[in-house]
Structure 1
Amino acid sequence: MSIRTAALLVAALGLSLTACGTEGGGTTVDVTPQAGSFSSAAESPEGAGAADTPRDEPTTGGSLGPGVSTVGDTISLKGAEDGEKLDVTLVKWLDPAKSADRHTIPSLGKRWVAAQIRLVNTGSATYRDSPPDCVRVADAEGRRYDATVADIAAGSSMATHLKLATGAKAVGWVVAEVPTGAAVTSLQFIPSGGAADETGQWAVRKG
């Protein structure tokens, strides 16, 4: 066998192994922002209106490195039903978040964190969900916390009963209650009330 023939055979084998290794090997947790995602909430075309202007200063922008989604980035996710697909954007992040009134406050030894999320139905089916049920936050110790019902000073809460036609969008805040000393490091969005196979994840930090 000539040296040229052997080299061609080795190259062909390498391509074959590469193709086999990538097929069906994807993860269900997507941390990679879409191409063209907004690098900061200030650049977003869905910036908060007058009623949603935060009174506290939210964390915005600030890339944490290639392939890591953070505030301002959009992740595309499929729902549990056929034809369900969403573009999910973490528009703003507040840590801590302030209550909208003096009467509703975090429990003793706890604080609120909040995410302003934008959902756009990019699928072929109407999307029905309770978005707060889709949200989880995690701290540096790996503990996870579900969303809670709370109104914050930064703006309007996300609807708890949402129905989005194809092309429609919704924006609102989702709040979670965490221990005062917990270092919250990530936020997850799992469509269909947490029942979908795909999960979007954003890195966050205290602002």
Structure 2
Amino acid sequence: MRATLAALALLGPALLGAAHGGSGETVPLSGGLPGERLDVTLVQVVDPASPAPDDAGRLVAVQLRLENTGSAVYKDSPASCAHLLDTAGRRFDGLNASVPAGPAFPETVTLDPGGATAGFVTFRLPKDAGLAAVQFALNGGLAEDVGQWSLSGA
């Protein structure tokens, strides 16, 4: 049953037409409104970014580069747009937490067309969780166009 859930969690975005890439690959994504387009690049994964404050897990940080390639202003929270999937099929929400690897994105990022920025999104995971994939979707993670980067080698 767990294997089935893990497979569904990883295949779900693919069945919905998600773009897939590996670390360093740029994935173009669309939002729900006209002109919302963003090129998203997974720059690096830092595991562990630091121990979790409660000692029950660890923090993993992913650095993303966002470039507004659309005609509309991008205004969103990258932490709410990002998710991390583990090898057991669990999905973890992004956090705005500072880590030694580098600065987190601000709570809200605003990019004019042609603008770009980079920052970290952090995830709290159990100590033994294996990393499977990072997902990103505009509109607070609710857009139909979902980018996914495999972390199978992580």
TM-score by length of 1: 0.64
Task: Determine the structure 2 residue equivalent to 1:179.
Answer: 126
Higher strand proportion (structure 1 or 2)? 2
Q: Could you list the runs of 5+ residues in structure 2 that have no partner in the other structure? A: 1-14
Matched, 1:29 2:18: yes
- CA distance, structure 1, for counterparts of residue 86 and residue 146 of structure 2: 17
Contact kept, 8 Å, 1:79 with 1:85, in 2: the verdict is yes
- CA distance, structure 2, for counterparts of residue 77 and residue 198 of structure 1: 6
Task: Determine the structure 2 residue equivalent to 1:170.
Answer: 117
Q: Please, what is the CA RMSD of the aligned residues? A: 1.6
Matched, 1:189 2:136: yes
Identity value in percent:
39
Contact kept, 8 Å, 1:121 with 1:165, in 2: the verdict is yes
Contact kept, 8 Å, 2:96 with 2:107, in 1: the verdict is no
Task: Determine the structure 1 residue equivalent to 2:83.
Answer: 136
- 1:39-58 to 2 correspondences below 5 Å: none
Matched, 1:83 2:35: yes
Q: Could you list the runs of 5+ residues in structure 1 that have no partner in the other structure? A: 1-25, 32-68, 100-104
Contact kept, 8 Å, 2:95 with 2:123, in 1: the verdict is yes
Please tell me whether Structure 1 or Structure 2 has the larger radius of gyration of its CA atoms: 1
TM-score by length of 2: 0.85
Task: Determine the structure 2 residue equivalent to 1:107.
Answer: 54
Task: Determine the structure 2 residue equivalent to 1:50.
Answer: none
- CA distance, structure 2, for counterparts of residue 80 and residue 123 of structure 1: 12
Q: 1:156 to 1:178 in 2, by over 3 A?
A: same
Q: Counterpart of 1:160 in structure 2: which amino acid?
A: E
Contact kept, 8 Å, 2:16 with 2:144, in 1: the verdict is no
Deviations 1:171-190 (A, max 9, x none): 00100000000101100001
Contact kept, 8 Å, 1:187 with 1:202, in 2: the verdict is yes
- Stretches (4+) displaced over 6 A: none
- CA distance, structure 2, for counterparts of residue 126 and residue 149 of structure 1: 22
Q: Counterpart of 1:89 in structure 2: which amino acid?
A: T
Task: Determine the structure 2 residue equivalent to 1:150.
Answer: 97
* CA deviation after TM superposition for structure 1 residue 206, in Å: 6.9
Task: Determine the structure 1 residue equivalent to 2:73.
Answer: 126
- CA distance, structure 1, for counterparts of residue 17 and residue 28 of structure 2: 12
- Larger RCO (CA within 8 A; separation ≥ 6): 2
